[in-house]
């Protein structure tokens, strides 16, 4: 450990048992009942604490046209995404079986193929094996007491996302799904099949739409979970007057909700959404102020590997924040950090050189080290802070990593399981612009 790293280590260790700073009013009351990571105060859990420290946070970074051009670049890079919209026909060789199954000599229970074009009607787990739990693949499941780390969980599919359906499991319960950002097995009942590509394309066309801007809301009656970034067609008043609802539409937005018919095909229903529930007409302007406000909506939520527990992991948090601007980020952190933009490589730097770079970094930029991505919040005193969904970390006075399993604010002086502080481990920074 070099001298500069040692200073970071000792500083964090010495502060572990210090009383937290308190301010007046609600923050003081909150600090009395809520514990925080070392060197984190109650004020730091308020987005404005960070936003007011930097000028021009409300400036628009990219307009609609620039975001469209960025999405084209992302979709053109096969390492980042599947451009499912370019696929004119579903072919039998378009999907790629889970590579580990081939390496282990396991035969996947494949059924008929191909199926076609689909729309997600219910937030769906995307898994490496066609089953609801890892025990569906007992041949390669390693027994563990850690229920929060299911390696068969790959990702999730949000409501109203378009997908390619390339095959069906032999038992008829699962589809092999390809989204723009991932692929895997998912429950058949979570998807409606479009009759043809034209219907599939039409389902995605929305002149007016509503975007969910909170971690999750549930629709009345159906209970469908709409997570941050979900986009739904918004009806105008003249359209509302022509449809039948089971309640008055007064004072509410009315949106078109995708549904699966009894025969599996796609259809629409309609639902009322109160304006104050956490939605926005159209995409939000892409500003760093909005990035921070959106990310802070997740604070305290449970960490969910691959979207488990109806929650997010580190890269999904970032992806859902940027979905509110209409930006199609890749799903995995290591691929996401290659998104076009202003990138800084920290590789080969020592901690002192890295923190000098952090001093010039825009608040809201992404920071990355292998296995984890986070949103940079800025500096307070001598410490640098981030917000992210954290599975585990190590504190300087502890021998073993602690299970965090939460979205938190923390200083970069916390450690990884290998004992290195986060500030030392950072390899890349990215401002998407």
Give the domain extent around 245: 206-281
Burial class of residue 214 (count of CB atoms within 10 Å of its CB; 0-12, 13-18, 19+): middle
- Is position 83 within any domain? no
Of 247, 281, 315, which closes a domain? 281
- Is position 362 within any domain? yes
- Is position 11 within any domain? yes
E-strand stretches of 83-143: 116-120, 124-127
How high is the pLDDT of residue 94? Answer: 46
Question: Any idea what DSSP says for residue 341?
Answer: S
Give, in order, the Cα–Cα distances in Å from 77 to each of 50, 335, 336, 340. 34, 10, 12, 10
58 and 157 share one domain: no
How many domains does the chain contain in total? 3
Instruction: Decide if 158 contacts 331 (C-beta within 8 A).
Output: no
Of 281, 308, 343, which closes a domain? 281
126 and 37 share one domain: no
Say how far apart CA 181 and CA 52 lie, in whole Å. Answer: 34
- Is position 382 within any domain? yes
Instruction: Decide if 45 contacts 271 (C-beta within 8 A).
Output: no
423 and 304 share one domain: yes
162 and 265 share one domain: no
291 and 427 share one domain: yes
How high is the pLDDT of residue 31? Answer: 64
How high is the pLDDT of residue 113? Answer: 56
Instruction: Decide if 299 contacts 312 (C-beta within 8 A).
Output: no
CATH code of residue 98: 2.30.30.40
- Is position 44 within any domain? yes
pLDDT means over runs of 10, the chain (433 residues): 48 41 48 89 96 94 97 88 77 46 42 78 94 48 56 94 92 93 95 95 97 96 94 96 90 97 96 96 98 98 95 97 97 95 94 90 96 97 97 88 96 93 96 96
- Is position 238 within any domain? yes
How high is the pLDDT of residue 142? Answer: 44
Of 266, 281, 296, which closes a domain? 281
364 and 406 share one domain: yes
Q: Which of these, 195, 252, 193, 189, lies nearest to 220 by C-alpha position? A: 252
CATH code of residue 56: 3.90.1720.10
- Is position 68 within any domain? no
292 and 156 share one domain: no
How high is the pLDDT of residue 80? Answer: 77
192 and 294 share one domain: no
How high is the pLDDT of residue 170? Answer: 84
271 and 296 share one domain: no
Q: Which long-range contacts (CB under 8 A, 24 or more apart) does 104-110 make?
A: 104/139, 104/140, 106/137, 106/139, 106/140, 109/169, 109/170, 109/171, 110/167, 110/169, 110/170
277 and 297 share one domain: no
Q: How many CA atoms lie within 13 A of 251 on its CB side?
A: 5
161 and 219 share one domain: no
How high is the pLDDT of residue 60? Answer: 97
- Is position 127 within any domain? yes
Q: Which of these, 427, 313, 294, lies nearest to 366 by C-alpha position? A: 427
How high is the pLDDT of residue 147? Answer: 60
303 and 407 share one domain: yes
Tokens 């599996």 belong to which residue?
A: 264
How high is the pLDDT of residue 148? Answer: 66
Burial class of residue 19 (count of CB atoms within 10 Å of its CB; 0-12, 13-18, 19+): exposed
């Amino acid at each position: 450990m070099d001298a500069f790293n040692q200073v970071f280590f000792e500083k964090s260790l010495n502060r572990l048992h210090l009383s937290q700073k308190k301010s007046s009013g609600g923050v003081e009351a909150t600090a009395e009942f809520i514990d925080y990571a070392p060197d984190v105060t109650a004020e730091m859990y308020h987005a404005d604490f960070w936003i007011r420290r930097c000028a021009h946070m409300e400036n628009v970074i990219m307009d609609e046209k620039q975001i469209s051009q960025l999405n084209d670049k992302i979709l053109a890079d096969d390492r980042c995404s599947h451009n499912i919209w370019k696929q004119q026909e579903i072919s039998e060789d378009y999907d790629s079986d889970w590579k580990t199954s081939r390496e282990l000599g396991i035969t996947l229970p494949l059924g008929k193929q191909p199926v076609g074009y689909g729309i997600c009607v219910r937030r769906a787990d995307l898994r490496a094996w066609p089953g609801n739990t890892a025990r569906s693949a007992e041949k390669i499941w390693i027994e563990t007491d850690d229920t929060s780390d299911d390696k068969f969980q790959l990702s999730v599919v949000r409501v109203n996302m378009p997908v390619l359906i390339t095959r069906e499991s032999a038992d008829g319960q699962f589809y092999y799904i390809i989204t723009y950002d991932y692929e895997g097995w998912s429950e058949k009942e979570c998807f409606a099949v479009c009759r043809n590509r034209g219907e599939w394309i039409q389902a995605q066309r929305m002149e007016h739409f509503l975007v969910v801007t909170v971690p999750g809301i549930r629709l009345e009656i159906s209970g469908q979970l709409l997570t941050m970034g979900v986009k739904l067609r918004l009806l105008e008043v003249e359209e509302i007057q022509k449809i039948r609802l089971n309640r008055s539409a007064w004072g509410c937005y009315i949106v078109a909700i995708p549904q699966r018919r009894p025969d599996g095909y796609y259809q629409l229903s309609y639902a009322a959404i109160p304006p104050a529930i956490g939605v926005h007409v159209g995409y939000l302007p892409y500003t760093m102020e909005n990035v921070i406000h959106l990310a802070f909506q997740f604070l305290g939520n449970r960490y969910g590997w691959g979207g488990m527990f109806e929650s997010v992991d580190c890269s999904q948090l970032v992806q859902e924040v940027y979905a509110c601007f209409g930006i199609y980020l890749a799903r995995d952190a290591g691929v996401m950090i290659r998104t076009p933009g202003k990138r800084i490589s920290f590789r080969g730097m020592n901690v002192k050189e890295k923190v000098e770079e952090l001093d010039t970094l825009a608040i809201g930029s992404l920071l990355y080290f292998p296995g984890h991505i986070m949103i940079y919040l800025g500096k307070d005193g001598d410490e640098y802070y981030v917000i992210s969904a954290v599975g585990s970390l190590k504190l300087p006075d502890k021998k073993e990593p602690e299970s965090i399993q939460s979205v938190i604010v923390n200083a970069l002086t916390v450690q990884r399981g290998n004992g290195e502080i986060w500030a030392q481990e950072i390899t890349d920074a990215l401002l998407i612009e």
